[in-house]
Amino acid sequence: MKEVYSSLTMKTRRGFIDYSLDKRATLLALFRGVVDACDADPYLMRAAKYHGEKADRNCPVCKKDSLVEVRYTFGDQLGQYSGRIKNGAELAEMEKEFGEFAVYVVEVCRECSWNHLCSTYLLGDGRERKAPRRQRTLEDEDFASLK
Ligand SMILES: [Zn+2]
């Protein structure tokens, strides 16, 4: 069982967005374009199974105790690691290693497959760092414009 980290333990957390209904639809659509490929649901369910961290609440749909959170990280400074799933312990390390990156928290129910983007926030110590060399992609441009 993985240790559950509260987002509140992240020292550098800022830019927190708790998605209200009006914003959620468009941002979720944008997010899905990046995270979800055509085999979206099996991929997300697998991510939830192997990388999900237990949420401190029950599923809003089926009310079961099967809700987990999957945290995706995005940012120019992450280079090739942008888009990877990270757990709380890894985020705590990353906030010291990188100047700024965005975290997208998706809640997934392993019982009924309910999923949605809960929130996003920025982490990092604020110092600019060069990303490892790589090709820029369209996804990077999309997420850059969200900041
Ligand atoms: Zn459920």
123 Cα: distance to centroid of ligand 1 (angstroms)? 29
Higher pLDDT, 6 or 90: 90
108 Cα: distance to centroid of ligand 1 (angstroms)? 8
Average pLDDT of span 11-27: 65
122 Cα: distance to centroid of ligand 1 (angstroms)? 28
Q: Is residue 117 part of a domain?
A: yes
pLDDT digits (tens, 9 = 90+) for 116-132: 888 889 999 998 887 76
pLDDT digits (tens, 9 = 90+) for 72-91: 998 888 888 888 999 999 99
106 Cα: distance to centroid of ligand 1 (angstroms)? 14
Read off the DSSP letter of residue 82: T
What does the pLDDT read at residue 119?
85
What does the pLDDT read at residue 37?
35
Tally the C-alpha atoms within 13 A of residue 113's C-alpha that lie toward its C-beta. Answer: 7
21 Cα: distance to centroid of ligand 1 (angstroms)? 19
Tokens 């029950």 sit on residue: 58
Q: Is residue 47 part of a domain?
A: yes
- Environment class of 86 (CB within 10 Å of its CB; exposed 0-12, middle 13-18, buried 19+): buried
Does the pLDDT at position 53 exceed 50? yes
Q: Is residue 5 part of a domain?
A: no
Q: What is the mean pLDDT of the chain?
A: 77
13 Cα: distance to centroid of ligand 1 (angstroms)? 28
11 Cα: distance to centroid of ligand 1 (angstroms)? 31
- Identify the domain containing residue 138 by its residue range: 10-144
What does the pLDDT read at residue 10?
74
Choose the weakest-confidence range: 36-45, 78-87, 91-100, 105-114.
36-45
Q: Tell me the torsion sign for CA atoms 55, 69, 120, 24.
A: negative
Does the pLDDT at position 39 exceed 80? no
Q: Is residue 2 part of a domain?
A: no
Distance in angstroms (rounded) separating the CA atoms of residues 138 and 147: 15
Q: Is residue 1 part of a domain?
A: no
55 Cα: distance to centroid of ligand 1 (angstroms)? 12
Look at the chain and report how many structural domains it folds into.
Answer: 1
Higher pLDDT, 124 or 30: 124
17 Cα: distance to centroid of ligand 1 (angstroms)? 23
Q: Is residue 78 part of a domain?
A: yes
Three-class SS state of 70: strand
Task: Quickly state the pLDDT bin for 42 (edges 50, 70, 90).
Answer: confident
